[in-house]
Structure 1
Amino acid sequence: MTQRFRVAYTLPRRLAEMGISPEAVLQRAGLPLGLFDLEKILVTTDELFALYRGMTESSEDPAIGLKLGTENRVEQYDPVAIAGLYARSFRDAIERIARYKQLICPEELRLHERGDESEVRFVWTFSDEREPPLLVDHCFSWLVGIGRKGTERPLNPRRVEFQRATEHKPMYEAHFGCPVKFKASHDSLVFHRADLDLPFVSHNPDMLGVIAPQLELELGKRLAQSSLSERARSVLKRQLAGQRPAIQQVASELCVSTRTLQRRLNEEGFSFQSLLEEARRELARHYLAHSPLELSEIAYLLGYEDANSFFRAFHHWEGVPPGQWRVVQARA
């Protein structure tokens, strides 16, 4: 099933405010010129990436992504952003956004905490392409903006990490108020762990009580359209981060018993092990094609005990060693 996601109805107006022709963006993106006239603007991941490449080609402003992600008018926020703004704390906001963002964008928010650092990554699904840098800028600026508005203080990350080559470093450091690292293994925002527990001055339980149930209803409808195996595979891809997820963990997140999960997967023609291998294969291809991670690091992230186990598995999937596959992809 091809997943489609909503594009904010305010996007054409924001582009026009910045002197960018929405029609020119669509033309450069190779998308229907009437797309922005639809009541609901729905696109696939590949179409969304094309849209942001069209924006890049239509603007000479290197800060366009940062500006698109900075919106001070709360009345222009989408429901997911409002749910984040009305949360109790920055951590609560990130968790709510991570839950509801799948309604409006083909991405997952993943939070990794180590020591006194909290790392937030936007992970894009349903595409083998690398996300356009302008889209990364937009997302990072958007999340930091919600944190600053909610806390009503100059909340800055500890550092920002980009996979791309070094460009416009002073601009990014001025916007985020922190050091920016380029040629990193991931695109990520790294915060001081304590900052995630800062309370939101904008916390509004009454408004949250109105918005959250509607978002939960929409989320339930979307999940109901997906098979249990699709949902389990998505959970596995989130949980594969230096560990091998157990079926009990996946069943708990899907709110079913382990026995029910096994039975339902069997009915759909899958086993837990086969889904785990599919998730590993998809992530391995993504890491090899779109990150500079060492092969040993990829093996660790996929939950293998050693690099040789990963090499054998990848050779079984693709017929060639992972290093050779990476070289072929780079040439292509």
Structure 2
Amino acid sequence: MKLTITKQYQEFLNSIGVDFQTLLDVAQLPDGTWKEELTLSTLDYYHLLLAFDKILTDEQILAMSRLQNIQMFMPPFFAALSSKNGLAAIEHFAKYKKIIGPVIVDMEQFDDFVRVSYRYDYTGLELPRFAVLNEQHLLLDMIRTGTGQAIKPVRLGTPYVYGQEALEAFDCHVEQMEGNELIFRKSDLELPFITANNIMLDYLEPQLKERLAEAISSESFTGIVQQKLYQAIPGGEFSVEDIAMSLGISSRTLQRNLNAEGTKFNQELQNVQKLLALSYLEKSDISTDEVAYLVGYAEASSFSRAFKKWTGKTISQYRKLNQKKSVDSALLACCCSRWKGR
């Protein structure tokens, strides 16, 4: 697996009193602070989690699991906030976890309650205390951020002892158990997210907003479908049935209207996915796995094949070309500035 370690993330860790190099030393991993990505095996990643466990206090763990602190490092959480409600957000984020690492999210739905638990995808290895507390609080903070309400779980289960600060953050009944669980009222997770269709737009840079405005014409039916796709893709519900329902028409009517304008649903879906992918890839701090997730692909390999079909280039080739353009633009701007100063 590849773990993206941006300079911003390292600076954030430093701001809460955590030195990333020390974490690597404790985990007995090679120095990777000079790189944007670390390639770790499943066991390497587990050793890193154990290092976090040894070094961080509950206060630091809670700081790492507040979305307002990590928004620039983990856009997939903000894609989950584009979902229609907590149920959809958890389902969407669980798919992302499968793509990027060995921590598995299990969700069970009952008549009135929903149970969420975490496990490590390696036989015989249990999630360390840091990982359980961090994942549980991240999920709760995501639900609270999405709904804009101080949602309380019905019960929290953990094999570890949590400090008073952590207990106050969850503000619910805590039970010691062999595994781990967060139990919510289903009615709380069905509350609409006030962040739906807005949060990823806020994350994107102004250039992308301009590019979208140029590429998408809302005057035609095709443009309306493109707009709906752009809003729906980050939230993970963008099938032809989903888009037709959002427009209040049948799937057959949607396809017929697109055919009348010389296009098809899958064609427009790929057009919007391509536009989003190019913009995300221009952000060097987003990994290929994250981009695949953000544009609606369950596997990075499928996304890579689609990207090559769209552009004629591999993702690595596109990144290198974009980096060269960025350097050339910076040099040109510097030269122009010096010339004007004469």
TM interval, short-chain normalised:
0.5 to 0.7
Task: Specify the alignment match of 2:120 in structure 1.
Answer: 124
User: Measured at CA, do residues 21 and 221 of structure 1 come closer, stay the same or move farther in structure 2, by a change above 3 Å?
Assistant: closer
Partner Cα separation in structure 2 for residue 101 and residue 8 of structure 1: 17
TM-score under structure 1 normalisation?
0.59
Amino acid paired to 1:88:
K
CA deviation vs aligned residue, 1:10-58 (integer Å, no higher than 9, x gap) = 542332111111111111110112x232222332222222112222333
Aligned with residue 58 of structure 1, among 55, 58, 61:
55
> Do the aligned partners of 1:8 and 1:41 also contact (CA within 8 Å) in 2?
yes
Q: Matched residue of 1:156: which SS?
A: coil
1:1-332 map, 5 Å? 4-7=1-4, 9=6, 10-33=8-31, 35-59=32-56, 61-73=57-69, 75-164=71-160, 166-168=161-163, 170-182=164-176, 184-204=177-197, 206-209=230-233, 213=273, 214-215=292-293, 219-222=298-301
Whole-angstrom distance in 1 between the partners of 2:234 and 2:135: 25
CA contact (8 A) 1:161 1:186 kept: yes
Residues 129 and 157 of structure 1: is their aligned pair in 2 closer, same or farther, counting only changes over 3 Å? same
The sequence identity of aligned pairs, in percent, is: 19
Q: Which residue identity lines up with residue 127 of structure 2 in the other structure?
A: E
* Range that drifts further, 42-51 or 84-93: 42-51
Contact 1:8–1:78 (CA<8 Å) still a contact in 2?
no
Task: State the distance in 2 between where 1:19 and 1:79 align.
Answer: 23
Q: Deviations over 1:93-120 (max 9, x none)?
A: 0111011222222122111123422100
State the match for 2:325 in structure 1: none
Deviation string 1:230-266 (CA, Å, 9 cap, x unpaired) is: xxxxxxxxxxxxxxxxxxxxxxxxxxxxxxxxxxxxx
Q: Contact conserved, 1:108 with 1:122, CA < 8 A, in 2? A: yes
Q: CA deviation at 1:211?
A: 7.8
Q: Deviations over 1:188-213 (max 9, x none)?
A: 11111211101100000644436855
Given that 2:80 and 2:235 are in contact with CA atoms closer than 8 Å, whether structure 1 keeps it comes out as no
Distance 1:185 1:210 in 2: 35
TM-score by length of 2: 0.57
Q: Which has the larger radius of gyration?
A: 2
* Contact kept? 1:6, 1:103, Cα under 8 Å: no
- Whichever residue aligns with residue 12 of structure 2, its letter is R
What letter is aligned with 2:44? E
Indicate how the Cα distance of structure 1 residues 223 and 63 shifts in structure 2: closer, same or farther if over 3 A, else same. farther
Aligned residue pairs total 217
Counterpart CA distance in 1 for 2:188 and 2:138 is: 17
Q: How far apart are 1:78 and its partner, in Å?
A: 1.9
1:105 and 1:39 map into 2 onto residues whose CA distance is: 17
User: Alignment RMSD, CA only?
Assistant: 2.5
Quick one: distance in 1 between partners of 2:51 and 2:141? 24
Q: Distance in 2 between matches of 1:129 and 1:191?
A: 26
Shift in Å at residue 73 of structure 1? Answer: 4.9
Contact 2:82 2:235 (8 Å CA) reproduced: no
Deviations 1:36-88 (A, max 9, x none): 322223322222221122223334x2332222111315741523212211110
CA distance in 2, matches of 1:5, 1:55: 18
Secondary structure, in 3 states, of the residue corresponding to 1:76?
Answer: coil
Cα pair distance change 1:30/1:136, threshold 3 Å: same
